[in-house]
């Protein structure tokens, strides 16, 4: 028997998963799209969400985890309000992006793929952000900062409240 507390806690997730799974007529072939929709709603795919998807879509939990952990588009950890992405593509690397990444890591006391405790920032790296000629590139949310000097980084991060 499910306890009242657990039942209440899982109602929101259950209902959200039910709505998304239902919108795809419980089609198992739509698993990736279902996970994308749920990640859009929750910001990440928690264990609770994955378990609900497994149960409601009647797909083994191992298969759901396999998909969620394979694709880079999915995050099993909550993300911060601001996503900092430092390009580590070849063109940006030769122009100094590793140094920028080290400085940002030190300023925030975070490694790539980590989220700050206050949920303000998630630090990521990218392989190419599509504007190589202007590198090195640091992207904060939807804003591209091209050729930032190390001394610009503090101001750039402070502008993301
Ligand atoms: S390598 Fe950095 S934008 Fe292409």
Q: What is the pLDDT along the chain (161 residues), one digit of tens a residue?
A: 444 444 444 578 899 999 999 999 999 999 999 999 998 887 788 888 999 999 999 999 999 999 999 998 898 888 899 999 999 999 999 999 999 999 999 999 998 878 898 999 999 888 899 999 999 999 999 999 999 999 999 999 999 87
Residue 92, pLDDT score: 96
Mutate to test the pocket of ligand 1, among 86, 92, 125 (most ligand atoms within 8 A of CB): 92
| CB distance 128 to 87 below 8 Å | yes
Pocket of ligand 1 (CB under 6 A): 87, 89-92, 128-132, 135, 137
**And the tokens for 151?**
């001394």
Q: Which residues contact 62 (CB under 8 A, 6 or more apart)?
A: none
Give the number of the atom of ligand 1 that is nearest the alpha carbon of residue 129: 3
Query: What pLDDT, on a 0 to 100 scale, did the predictor assign at position 44?
Result: 80
**Closest ligand 1 atom to the C-alpha of 87?**
2
Give the separation between CA 22 and CA 47, rounded to whole angstroms. 20
| Integer angstrom CA distances of residue 90 from 8, 102, 116, 129, 137 | 50, 17, 27, 11, 12
According to the model, what pLDDT value does residue 10 have? 57
- Tell me which residue has its CA closest to atom 1 in ligand 1: 89
Say how many Å lie between the CA of residue 99 and the centre of ligand 1.
15
Contact 56, 50 (CB under 8 A): no
Q: What is the pLDDT of residue 107?
A: 95
**Which residues 6+ apart lie within 8 Å of 156 measured at CB?**
138, 140, 145, 148
Please return the burial class of 8, using the count of CB atoms within 10 Å of its CB with bins 0-12, 13-18 and 19+.
Answer: exposed
Residues 127 and 105: their CA atoms lie apart, in Å, by 18
- Tell me, what's the pLDDT at 127? 87
Q: What pTM did the predictor assign?
A: 0.67
User: What integer pLDDT is reported at residue 6 of this predicted model?
Assistant: 46
Edge-to-edge, what's the strand order for the sheet holding 121-126?
Answer: 114-115, 121-126, 82-87, 137-140, 143-146
Query: How far apart, in whole angstroms, are the C-alpha atoms of residue 71 and residue 148?
Result: 30
């Amino acid at each position: 028997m499910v306890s009242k507390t657990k039942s209440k806690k899982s109602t929101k997730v259950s209902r959200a998963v039910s709505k998304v799974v239902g919108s795809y007529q419980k089609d198992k072939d739509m698993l990736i799209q279902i996970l994308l929709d749920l990640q859009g709603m929750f910001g990440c795919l928690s264990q609770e969400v994955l378990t609900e998807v497994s149960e409601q879509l009647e797909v083994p939990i191992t298969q759901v985890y396999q998909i969620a952990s394979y694709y880079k588009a999915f995050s099993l950890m909550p993300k911060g309000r601001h996503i900092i992405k430092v390009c580590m593509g070849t063109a940006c690397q030769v122009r100094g992006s590793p140094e920028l990444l080290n400085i940002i890591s030190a300023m925030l006391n975070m490694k790539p793929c980590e989220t700050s405790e206050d949920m303000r920032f998630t630090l990521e790296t990218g392989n190419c952000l599509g504007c190589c000629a202007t590198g090195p590139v640091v992207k904060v949310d939807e804003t591209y900062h091209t050729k930032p000097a190390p001394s610009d980084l503090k101001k750039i991060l402070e502008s993301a409240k």
